[in-house]
Structure 1
Amino acid sequence: MSSCKNPLVSIIVPIFNAENYINKCLNSILNQTMKNIEIIIVDDASTDRSLFIVENYKNKDSRIKIIGLKYNKGPGNARNKGIIYASSKFVMFIDSDDYIHPKMVEILYNEALSKNCDIVSCRYHRVSNDEVLSTSPLDIYSNDSICDFMKGCISPMVWNKIYSIRLFIDNDIFFPEELYFEDQIVTFQLFFYAKNISVLENIFYNWNVTDKSITNSISLKHINDLFRVFKLIKKFLIDKKVYKHYEDYFLSKLLYITTTHLLSLLFNQKLKNQIFLENIENKLYSFNNNILEIVKTNNKSYYINYIYNLFKITKNNNLKLRYNQIQIKRNIMIDSYNLDSDILFNLIKLKSIKELIIYGTGEIAHELIKKIKNKKIKIIMILDSNNTASTFDYNNVYTLESSPINIDNKYIIIASIAYANEIIQKIKNYSLTKKISPNIISINDFIDYIEIK
């Protein structure tokens, strides 16, 4: 293909040892319906065949530019190099192990151009081996981008969006180098300065979760970097003289990200490391000694998730908390191996529930069903957000909308941790339209049986 002298969009792809994924990534970019693009590949000192692979692509398509870096400094530095070399008015970022829908660039670009947008975002799938694990909710924006970001209404990833390159240049925005979680500060700054933003419902980006993904690993560097990034966000707010106004939102966001990006991984990887937990606690309380009380008052669901994850980690790994001790108020028998399903089962027993509906088809649901069947509690139905999800031997899976049973006054057990709040809200919205009142039981109810000393 002939070279684009005036490309409309610059697509920046940082790569480091991506030989197993880069073909699929580049094919998805080259097969875009919008052809007038440039693809800037920044090789971050790969030691595998990545550079050889992309050079073969470049020989076949002159829209590809390759920047080779001598030293590995992480995706932040690589993206910065790409921004410097970009020649278009709009820029996008794609990670080398991900892939995109054929119309993503065209539709995001046309939306930005027609509505004079600084940023246009789309939704994304979280995938593994081409299987969709989850789908992102629709971003919601108001006139207060700081509040939107802190409340989680804006996805902090840089890769599911198109940006006016002037946002970076005019506001001197660049990615921190050699830091994990660098998206958080950059996305925050971009939305702070953006004057016009558009959100699309289309699901165009595929985030490929691999064994090497940040979301699947944790180290002391991950812990230190996360809090360094939030210090940068705090400094930015202080410099703009708005930190005091947004402090409660900021602390809630910090606690939420600490839970989802650090504590959940400590539990999942069974890391029996007291140093890790103390490091997290020390850094968290360095922002504000009263962070838990502040978040409990302003965002109880974030507080619940944090305490619950602490409980799981300390029970499973026999670790001790420096600042608080978590105790169970009542005599609840919990098997640490299947803790999530065990807690839900205990809540069912404590409420003397004899028949119920289970919402969810994952591992927690499977373990919960085993416990329930042994006690001869009747399972009326299985619900899920997608009725094409896996089915159980004795029952089909229904969505709320396709349910053959009236769920009014029925007990619905939310067999999910990560999406519990989202599912609860979905059931509440559905119940409101149908004028019904089901009884919802989730991990959130467990907080009533915990006390912190």
Structure 2
Amino acid sequence: MIKVSVIIPVYNVEQYLEECLNSIINQTLKEIEIICVDDCSKDNSYLILDKYKDIDSRIILIKHNINRGLGPARNTGLARANGEYIFYMDSDDYISNDYIQTLYVTAKKYNSDIVSNLNINADYDGKITPYKPETFNNLINWKKQYPKNYLEGESFIEITENYEGKKEFLSPMSWNKLFKREFLISNELYFMDIALGAEDVDLYYRVIANKPKTSYNHKGYYFYRQRNSSLMKEAEVNINSIIATISHMNNCIEYCKIKCDENFMKYLMPKICNLIFYRYSIFLNKEEAFIHIHNFYNKVQINKDFTNDYLYYNYMLIKISSNYDNYLFFMNFYEDITKRIENVKNDNEKWFRLFGICKSKRYIKIVVFGITFTVKFKINCKE
């Protein structure tokens, strides 16, 4: 019986590939298959894979005829997989020898559709530091409240009245989890057939929409390599990355509309719009990207109560601006007003209204769009 199918898309990672493969073939869980999908690498990656195929008979080597991207390569691996669970491994990363076994044991213990691990270290050219993005806040809070239980347990995805997951150990990455293969296939949880974008986030929310049974095990170590040639770096300069991200989010919305109720969609839409804005904020040529973001925002609707003010006003400003110059004008105006409001908030009288009148014994303050006009009174002094 194959317990876990490890799927590794490979593209131009000759410098890191052997460390990745060594960490997989030396896993303490032996009942695995290792499906390596070469996505038309231009370096020596395929030769390395071919060499390792002769070293370990569990390695299955597949080669794409054209470069298709990370998500499609994972789909190719999933179509070939026979394991009870699926592990999507990135080809420049590596894991501790007990990583897959600890996750598998927990998955079987709780009969989980998904088991995840947030014990992740970032590798910056050999310098290892904890990888703790904002999405791990739930784990940090859990460790404070339940220090004896945070390493392993059953988790619950709760969409509460304010639509935030309270006991959610999932995270948007696909590479730190085991997925039950039957769960993925029966719910048609495949990646889009496009090369760039936000494939992990698209899959993440479609997974949540199916209310999976989840658990966590944070005992093993995942080492997440940070490098300049990664796909996230390309997201800063390639307009196709913006276009593909929007395509992924449209795919996610259409899928969740069918699967989910109105409350879930209220939770989902701000998350998606915030991701789109983040991708826009890191993109270097914002004028080039603006029209794509503008068109997307005009197709969707979010409620101000489900996001923070800064992101909501950016959403509104991009939506109402017919072009990039208009957006800059409105944005500069908004930032100027916000700065003025912050200044008057710090006033001794704590005056912070956008419009209004504030009267004291010595003067009247009139505020219009954060601009303050003061009328002083003449004071009669008595000896």
Fold match (TM-score > 0.5): yes
Q: Is 1:298 equivalent to 2:306 in the alignment?
A: yes
Select 1:54's aligned residue among 44, 49, 55: 49
Select 1:105's aligned residue among 77, 100, 106: 100
Q: Which amino acid aligns with 1:229?
A: H
| Match in the other structure for 2:40 | 45
| Match in the other structure for 1:370 | none
The structure-2 alpha-carbon separation of the partners of 1:153 and 1:28, relative to structure 1 and needing over 3 Å to count, comes to closer
The structure-2 alpha-carbon separation of the partners of 1:306 and 1:100, relative to structure 1 and needing over 3 Å to count, comes to farther
Question: After superposition, what is the alpha-carbon deviation per residue over 1:19-45, rounded to whole angstroms, capped at 9, x for unaligned?
Answer: 122111111112222222111101111
| Match in the other structure for 2:296 | 283
With CA pairs under 8 Å and 6+ residues apart, which has the higher RCO, 1 or 2? 2
Q: Is 1:12 equivalent to 2:28 in the alignment?
A: no
Select 1:89's aligned residue among 84, 91, 95: 84
Retained in 2: the 8 A contact 1:125–1:203?
no
| Match in the other structure for 2:272 | 254
Matches within 5 A, 1:334-413: none
Matches within 5 A, 1:441-452: none
Q: Is 1:321 equivalent to 2:297 in the alignment?
A: no
Q: Aligned partners of 2:286, 2:336: CA distance in 1, in Å?
A: 27
Q: Secondary structure at the match of 1:52?
A: helix
Q: Which amino acid aligns with 2:124?
A: S
| Match in the other structure for 1:431 | none
| Match in the other structure for 2:172 | 156
Q: Secondary structure at the match of 2:253?
A: helix
Q: Secondary structure at the match of 1:198?
A: strand
| Match in the other structure for 2:364 | none
Q: How far is the alpha carbon of 1:240 from its aligned partner?
A: 2.6
Q: Secondary structure at the match of 1:92?
A: strand
Q: Secondary structure at the match of 2:35?
A: strand
Q: Secondary structure at the match of 1:326?
A: helix
| Match in the other structure for 1:226 | 245
Select 1:128's aligned residue among 124, 130, 138: 124
Q: Secondary structure at the match of 2:223?
A: strand
Q: Aligned partners of 2:314, 2:274: CA distance in 1, in Å?
A: 12
Q: Aligned partners of 2:315, 2:295: CA distance in 1, in Å?
A: 17
Q: Aligned partners of 1:248, 1:151: CA distance in 2, in Å?
A: 19
Retained in 1: the 8 A contact 2:39–2:67?
yes
Moved more, 197-206 or 105-114: 197-206
Q: Is 1:206 equivalent to 2:223 in the alignment?
A: yes
Q: Aligned partners of 2:316, 2:256: CA distance in 1, in Å?
A: 29
Q: Aligned partners of 2:184, 2:265: CA distance in 1, in Å?
A: 26
Q: Aligned partners of 1:79, 1:143: CA distance in 2, in Å?
A: 28
Q: Secondary structure at the match of 1:287?
A: coil
Q: Which runs of 5+ in 1 are unaligned?
A: 1-5, 312-317, 334-346, 353-447
The structure-2 alpha-carbon separation of the partners of 1:122 and 1:176, relative to structure 1 and needing over 3 Å to count, comes to same
Q: Aligned partners of 2:267, 2:167: CA distance in 1, in Å?
A: 7
Retained in 1: the 8 A contact 2:103–2:216?
no
Retained in 2: the 8 A contact 1:119–1:164?
yes
Q: Sequence identity, in percent?
A: 26
Q: How far is the alpha carbon of 1:332 from its aligned partner?
A: 6.7
The structure-2 alpha-carbon separation of the partners of 1:237 and 1:172, relative to structure 1 and needing over 3 Å to count, comes to closer
Q: Which amino acid aligns with 1:20?
A: Q
TM-score by length of 1: 0.62
Retained in 2: the 8 A contact 1:17–1:49?
yes
| Match in the other structure for 1:236 | 255
Moved more, 172-181 or 134-143: 134-143
The structure-2 alpha-carbon separation of the partners of 1:55 and 1:154, relative to structure 1 and needing over 3 Å to count, comes to same
Q: Aligned partners of 1:186, 1:89: CA distance in 2, in Å?
A: 19
| Match in the other structure for 2:157 | 142
Retained in 2: the 8 A contact 1:149–1:188?
no
Q: How far is the alpha carbon of 1:55 from its aligned partner?
A: 0.9
Q: Which runs of 5+ in 2 are unaligned?
A: 140-154, 318-323, 348-368, 372-383
Q: How far is the alpha carbon of 1:308 from its aligned partner?
A: 8.2
Q: Is 1:77 equivalent to 2:77 in the alignment?
A: no
Q: Aligned partners of 2:92, 2:60: CA distance in 1, in Å?
A: 18
Q: How far is the alpha carbon of 1:159 from its aligned partner?
A: 0.7
Q: Aligned partners of 2:222, 2:26: CA distance in 1, in Å?
A: 14
Question: After superposition, what is the alpha-carbon deviation per residue over 1:70-117, rounded to whole angstroms, capped at 9, x for unaligned?
Answer: 111111111111112112111101011111122110100000111111
